[in-house]
């Protein structure tokens, strides 16, 4: 019964729409705990799904599911504390959408059928749209509109891509289930032309959702307008879900021997995203948008690494996990800063180190980790991506990558220093309660621990996920 993992939050999500706020908040934490338990059980037992043609437990899906589950659990604890201080009018819609969002994302990680994957990813857009509009302001309305329209149109492209892949089965006279695992097994018999077209459309489609430039325009708006717990989910795990769609399609391409086609395209989109993010990070004036652009940068690195293959693919997987942990922690911290200073402008903040010392620890730790300072995981991931690219001989690409990373680091550091140490006259409107900082600490610590010690089963899962991509380096 694999399906129960996404059915449980779905049911509680629907219930939450009808609950008063004093019951909705505990339900959020309760579901988070239940989901974490179920995911761990799934990890240990690896049971068979009830509907085998639609769902499957794959290593890459399992990794994403664990990350989602851990993140949601911690975010739900933070959310309860956040909701007590933040002014959110229709809280039942917020909690209900959070739970439905969790359910749809879980469904993405478990789906194996190409179309079910599409259904789940489109459903994540729909479930998260109310979250972005939580503040009911005209700018958040604009962000929601952009998000729903751009992502829906983008994902429609992915639907077309999925249909084209089924046509490639038709032309190649392949009779197999339309699922990622079955198609990877028979990939060589698929018609290459239609498969290539399908991959291109799927990359553009899910790439829109993943925030790859130039389709990223919705991302900074949505991530900065959503309340911080929702931003943490959007940035930490939703982007991974979209990446999962690309990753699985890329697997089919590699199995079909079309890696020469998919690799350079992925690398191209990756570099474009890194460059675009770099440009906007350097002159950014709002810290939540800064974090959003940093997500685009990291997604660029991940796409680049996946395109490189080999060591790069392993590095991309590491970046994916660590980016989720660190970026969600940073977004939660940005929620504290917003509650404290009451503004999203960097210049309205300052002297975080004295004003909000506990938040400062989380913020600065997160900044160091996301910028790729050693010994954090992003550093190791980026190192593998760069080494992999050198090994494969993509010298120009890797030069662009390294130069942009340096520029981004400089830009990000400049802004982080302003927030942390600039003088500020602002009055802080927030007491730093434990549940407003501990979730961030735990996320950062998890990331730190994973750099030095990866449990064997986790390492094996990562290796299983990237075997076909890396070809065993």
Partner 1 sequence: MNIPVDMTLSLVLLSVLFSFGSSRLPGLIKVLAFQGVVVSLVPLIIGHDMTGGGILFTLATLTIRGIVIPLCIHFAIKKVAIRREVEPIVGYHASVLAGLGLIVAAMAVSHRFNAPSISTSVLLLPTAISLLVAGMFLLMARRNAIAMVLGYIMMENGIYLVGTTFSVRALHIVEFGILLDVLAGVMIMAVILQNIKQTFDDVDTALLRTLKE
Residue 186 touching partner 1 (CB under 8 A): no
Site string for partner 1, 265-284 (x = CB under 8 A): ---------------x----
Would you count residue 221 as binding partner 1 (CB under 8 A)?
yes
Rule CB under 8 A: say whether 89 interacts with partner 1: no
Residue 48 or 170: which CB sits closer to partner 1? 170
* Residue 199 engages partner 1 in binding (rule: CB under 8 A): no
The nearest distance, CB 123 to partner 1, in angstroms, is 6
Q: How many residues bind partner 1 (CB under 8 A)?
A: 41
Shortest distance, position 124 Cβ to partner 1, whole Å? 10
Site string for partner 1, 37-76 (x = CB under 8 A): ----------------xx----------------------
Judge whether 282 and 411 are in contact, CB under 8 Å: yes
If the CB atoms of residues 151 and 258 are measured against partner 1, the closer one turns out to be 151
- Name the residue nearer to partner 1 (CB basis): 164 or 436: 164
- Interface region with partner 1, contact rule CB under 8 A, candidates 134-142, 323-331, 340-348, 413-421: 134-142
* Residue 454 touches partner 1, criterion: CB under 8 A: no
Residue 463, judged by CB atoms within 10 A of its CB (0-12, 13-18, 19+), counts as: middle
CB of 243 to partner 1, least distance (A): 20
Measured from the CB of residue 331, what is the shortest distance to partner 1 in angstroms? 18
State which of residues 113, 216, 323, 327 lies at the interface with partner 1 (CB under 8 A). 113
Instruction: Give yes or no for residue 159 binding partner 1 (CB under 8 A).
Output: yes
Q: Which is nearer to partner 1, 121 or 419 (CB)?
A: 121
Which one, 206 or 360, has the nearer CB to partner 1? 206
152 binds partner 1 (CB under 8 A): yes
Query: Which listed residue (10, 194, 341, 379) binds partner 1 by CB under 8 A?
Result: 194
Nearer to partner 1, 149 or 449 (CB): 149
**Closer CB to partner 1, 158 or 321, in the complex:** 158
> Shortest distance, CB of residue 341 to partner 1, whole angstroms?
21
Report the alpha-carbon distance of residue 446 to residue 148 in Å, rounded.
33
Q: For the purposes of burial, counting CB atoms within 10 Å of the CB of 200, is it exposed (0-12), middle (13-18) or buried (19 or more)?
A: middle
Instruction: Give me the residues that bind partner 1 (CB under 8 A), please.
Output: 53-54, 113, 115-116, 118-119, 122-123, 125-126, 129, 133, 138-139, 141-146, 148-149, 152-153, 156, 159-160, 163-164, 166-167, 169-171, 178, 194, 220-221, 225, 280
């Amino acid at each position: 019964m694999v399906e129960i993992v996404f059915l449980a939050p779905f049911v509680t999500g629907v219930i939450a729409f009808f609950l008063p706020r004093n019951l909705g908040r505990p339900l959020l934490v309760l579901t988070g705990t239940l989901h974490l338990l179920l995911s761990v059980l799934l990890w240990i037992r690896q049971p068979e799904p009830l509907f085998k043609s639609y769902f499957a437990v794959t290593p890459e899906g399992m990794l994403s599911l664990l990350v989602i589950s851990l993140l949601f659990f911690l975010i739900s604890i933070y959310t309860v504390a956040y909701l007590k201080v933040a002014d959110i009018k229709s809280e039942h819609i917020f909690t209900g959408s959070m739970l439905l969002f969790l359910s749809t994302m879980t469904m993405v990680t478990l789906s194996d059928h190409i179309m079910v994957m599409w259904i789940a990813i489109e459903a994540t857009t729909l479930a998260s749209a109310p979250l972005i509009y939580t503040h009911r302001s005209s700018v958040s309305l604009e962000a929601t509109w952009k998000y729903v329209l751009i992502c829906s149109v983008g994902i429609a492209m992915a639907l077309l891509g999925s249909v084209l892949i089924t046509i490639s089965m038709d032309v190649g006279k392949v009779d197999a289930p339309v699922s990622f695992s079955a198609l990877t097994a028979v990939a060589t018999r698929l018609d290459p032309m239609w498969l290539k077209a399908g991959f291109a459309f799927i990359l553009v489609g899910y790439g829109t959702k993943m925030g790859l430039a130039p389709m990223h325009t919705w991302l900074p708006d949505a991530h900065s307008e959503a309340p911080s717990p929702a931003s943490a989910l959007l940035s930490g795990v939703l982007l991974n879900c979209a990446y999962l769609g690309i990753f699985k399609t890329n697997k089919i391409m590699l199995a079909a021997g079309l890696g020469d086609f998919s690799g350079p395209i992925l690398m191209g989109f990756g570099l474009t995203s890194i460059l675009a993010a770099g440009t906007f990070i350097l002159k950014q004036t709002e810290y939540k948008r800064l974090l959003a652009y940093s997500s685009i940068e990291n997604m660029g690195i991940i796409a680049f690494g996946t395109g490189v293959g080999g060591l790069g693919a392993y590095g991309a997987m590491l970046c994916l996990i660590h980016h989720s942990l660190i970026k969600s922690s940073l977004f939660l911290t940005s929620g504290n800063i917003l509650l404290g200073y009451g503004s999203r402008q960097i210049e309205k903040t300052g002297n975080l180190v004295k004003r909000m010392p506990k938040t400062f620890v989380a913020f600065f730790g997160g900044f160091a980790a996301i910028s790729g300072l050693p010994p954090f995981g992003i550093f190791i991931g980026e190192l593998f991506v760069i080494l992999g690219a050198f090994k494969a001989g993509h010298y120009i690409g890797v030069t662009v990558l390294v130069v942009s990373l340096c520029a981004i680091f400089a830009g990000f550091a400049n802004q982080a220093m302003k927030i942390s140490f600039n003088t500020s006259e602002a009055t802080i409107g927030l007491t730093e309660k434990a549940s407003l900082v501990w979730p961030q600490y735990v996320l950062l610590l998890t990331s730190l621990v994973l750099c030095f010690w990866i449990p064997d089963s986790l390492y094996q899962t990562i290796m299983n996920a990237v075997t076909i991509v890396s070809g065993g380096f």
